[in-house]
Structure 1
Amino acid sequence: MSATVHVIGAGMAGLAASVRLAQTGRKVALYDAAGQAGGRCRSYFDETLGCRLDNGNHLLVSGNTAAMAYIAETNAAATFVTADIAAFPFLDLKSQERWSVRPTEGRVPWWLFVAGRRVAGTSALDYLDALKLTRAAATATISQTLDARRVIYERLWVPLAVAALNTEVEQASARLLGMIFAETFGRGGAGLHPLYPKEGLSESLVDPALAVIQAKGGSLRFGQRLRSLRFEGERVAALDFGRGELALDAEDSVVLAITAPVAKDLIPALDPPDAFRAIVNSHFKVETLPGQAYSFLGLVNGTADWIFLKPGVISTTTSAADRLVDRDAEVLAAALWKDIAQAYGLDPAKLPAHRVVKEKRATFACTPAQLLRRPKARTRWRNLVLAGDWTDTGWPATIEGAIRSGFTAAAALAA
């Protein structure tokens, strides 16, 4: 009997590991406690709005190397719309000033010397802050490293940090933000073309992966929650899904691609990140969009951080949103719609049908202390590896980070 890799968790990390393993000829069994795959990155039919929604708003760009490899390996490129240019529009709701950050295509940052391509009110020299971030001490936060009185702080570093790290700048790692800026804007506009799923996250990032796994002989087992692992010496000997133990053959292995708290429950010896931050997403059903579908707008001084225009739906995202999660959903919806109305000249009193989704522990907090708690993929057990955006990927908890973790786990087993 051929060896099996048991992948526990069918979020982006587990899907990435499964696809990479299946593509290299490994027999994969993919499990998830839920009735479907995708985790925090999937689509569903919302009964209230009567349409399909994404359970979160995620922005991929052409320079997300792991995500682009995953899309290629799952033959999903045709399910995306890719923007022709790299452009990141913003609106300051307080001053009503608008601008668009538009990096030039090459790695040489010529765009910094063109006022119309920079953040409004900034100079080319302001962007030298990126060097301060990358050279910051490992314990330094963004607010400790940069001058909060400067325009670029409020209009670039805060929005970028909150969106990418899902952590407030007073607590977020300066060095990690510097790395993200270098890996994205530092590589030029060619790596910053936004990608939008034509239909939804499931149709682009989940369903194609499941099709590949099954086509390669893998099995999908939903509605199965792992209750415990039995260890014998240097290996995992059995898995327990509540229906009796599933004994592992000598050459079988396990990818644990679950959340940090669940991993801690299953393996008490782990010491993973244990501080988290919330994200609030909202969705408003509209008959006519106020702009082009498959577009977005960043907000400064709003309740929402980002607005996304999708066919039939206007969505918002607010990251590092612990201050909002306990507020009444209707009060939140009204505040978020007010931001949308102000941005697009709509009537703030005409609140459309809507859905507010709160994730209290959406991602781990990217603080210096929490980053030190991220474990490597390899464990002390020779047939067990870890995956998940909370592991040591070098990236924050994003789709790119989750996919990287899955690929790293697959490589660890291959080695």
Structure 2
Amino acid sequence: RESFLKSPGAGRMGVPTVPLSDLYSYAIAYIERRDGKVHLRTSVEGAIVEPNSVVLQSGGAAERFDFVVLAVPHNALGKLLPSQNGSGGASAQLQAQVARLESSPITGIHLWFDREITELPHAVLLDRTIQWMFQKSRLQPQRQGAEQAGSYVELVVSSSKSLVAMGRKEIVDLALSELAEFFPVVREAKLLKATVVKEVHATYSALPGSDSYRPESRTPWPRIFLAGDWTATGWPATMEGAVRSGYGAAQALAESNGRSDKFLVSDLPAEGLMRLFGT
């Protein structure tokens, strides 16, 4: 309803035309311009709650922060929850709640051909295992020099449980067979290279009743907050839901610090016939 029916603008899609690492670099620069620091390839082993701060343990060292937002996959939350200073019971309860969420995999199938198989930069593929097609050589031409022929295509399969146990060759063969049904040139094209990437715990699985296990941004600890598509955003496991969770965590943190900042973005107003449904 929110994504397609509410208004004509609700279904607009954004497809990045630069590698994701470039997008992330803007976020890092934004933080650093405001005297923040971003530590890459740095794992956190745990958190200790103190009256006026939270101590994060990382690589044998410890660093103290005013507030902490745990923006991690739901299956990684447990080891980061505090267990000292009387926090064990609350941690166990929250961990048990989140543990009832199941994971849903996403598989990316990357194919390089000796020729272009379609002029479309992006397509939704219906009624097959493969679901989304992104022609990276058109969307991100800077990744492929002008002297290079051929095309680079990425296929995405959400909730790809049927592919988890399959081998690379079997997945690639299936993808080529189905892709040729939409773009017959695939049958004539030569496959130069193929890569399969499985994210087994990519998102939580939106099973019936799973909303009751999704926690709010606030936690039993006033200085610790949660963010992630698996938190109680009102949206399923989508990038939009993940973004809303970040807004929610930021707003909850600001409110706990006595600030009136508003980060959550209002829903789009209903247009056309949807106004009759009061949404």
2:163 paired residue number: 324
Matches within 5 A, 1:138-157: none
Q: CA deviation at 1:236?
A: 5.0
Q: CA deviation at 1:191?
A: 2.6
Matches within 5 A, 1:20-31: none
Change (3 A) 1:401 1:357: same
**Alignment check: 8 A CA contact 2:103 2:205 kept:** yes
Runs of 5+ consecutive residues of structure 1 not aligned to the other structure: 1-181
Q: Is it true that 1:219 corresponds to 2:37 in the alignment? A: yes
2:262 paired residue number: none
Matches within 5 A, 1:11-50: none
Q: CA deviation at 1:257?
A: 0.8
Q: Is it true that 1:303 corresponds to 2:122 in the alignment? A: no
Q: Is it true that 1:262 corresponds to 2:76 in the alignment? A: yes
Q: Which residue of 230, 233, 241 corresponds with 2:58?
A: 241
Q: Name the CA distance, whole Å, in 1 between partners of 2:20 and 2:12.
A: 18
The SS at the match of 1:229 is strand
The SS at the match of 1:186 is coil
1:354 paired residue number: 194
**Alignment check: 8 A CA contact 2:73 2:203 kept:** no
Q: Which residue of 222, 225, 237 corresponds with 1:397?
A: 237
Q: Name the CA distance, whole Å, in 1 between partners of 2:193 and 2:110.
A: 8
Q: Name the CA distance, whole Å, in 1 between partners of 2:62 and 2:19.
A: 37
Matches within 5 A, 1:193-204: 193-204=12-23
Q: CA deviation at 1:293?
A: 4.7
Q: Is it true that 1:183 corresponds to 2:22 in the alignment? A: no
The SS at the match of 1:194 is coil
1:44 paired residue number: none
Change (3 A) 1:274 1:185: closer
How many residues were matched structurally? 228
Matches within 5 A, 1:95-174: none
Residues 139-197 of structure 1: CA deviation (Å, up to 9, x unaligned): xxxxxxxxxxxxxxxxxxxxxxxxxxxxxxxxxxxxxxxxxxx1021123323232221
Q: CA deviation at 1:361?
A: 1.4
RMSD value, Cα: 1.9
Q: CA deviation at 1:295?
A: 1.8
The SS at the match of 1:355 is strand
Q: Name the CA distance, whole Å, in 1 between partners of 2:153 and 2:72.
A: 30
1:207 paired residue number: 25
Q: Name the CA distance, whole Å, in 2 between partners of 1:319 and 1:237.
A: 36
TM-score scaled by structure 2? 0.75
Runs of 5+ consecutive residues of structure 2 not aligned to the other structure: 82-90, 138-150, 256-279
Change (3 A) 1:359 1:237: closer
Change (3 A) 1:330 1:361: same
**Alignment check: 8 A CA contact 1:238 1:247 kept:** yes
TM-score scaled by structure 1? 0.52
The SS at the match of 2:5 is helix
